[in-house]
Amino acid sequence: MPLPKNEIEKLIKMAIPDASIEIKDLMGDNNHYSAIIKSKIFNNLNKIDQHKLVYKSLKGKMGNELHALSIITEGK
């Protein structure tokens, strides 16, 4: 079952409350997204650790309900 973008945003916001999030449905299928996520929590982390935080916030849905998510993370 596909994961709607508002649910992705909700999961990320629960884990990273100050995040500003821009999500685009790349294929119109609720399964292939790109996301730009900005948060102060990313300021002193490398990109790998930033992305790990985002994937952790998705609580195991990546690869299951969520097929593809391209991530760009930035500090604030």
Give 26's pLDDT tier (boundaries 50, 70, 90).
Answer: very high
Helix H or strand E encompassing 56: helix 47-57
Separation CA 49–CA 61 (nearest Å): 18
- Tens-digit pLDDT profile for residues 38-73: 999 999 999 999 999 999 999 988 888 888 999 999
Give 18's pLDDT tier (boundaries 50, 70, 90).
Answer: very high
pTM: 0.90
Q: For residue 7, how many C-alpha atoms fall within 13 Å in the half-sphere facing its CB?
A: 12
Q: Please identify which residue in the block is written with the tokens 């730009």.
A: 36
For residue 60, the enclosing domain spans 5-74
Domain containing residue 63: CATH number: 3.30.300.90
Q: Based on the structure, what is the number of domains in the chain?
A: 1
Phi/psi of residue 69, nearest 5 degrees: -140, 115
List the end-to-end C-alpha distance of the chain, in Å, as a whole number: 33
Q: Quick one: pLDDT at residue 23?
A: 97
Q: Quick one: pLDDT at residue 74?
A: 97
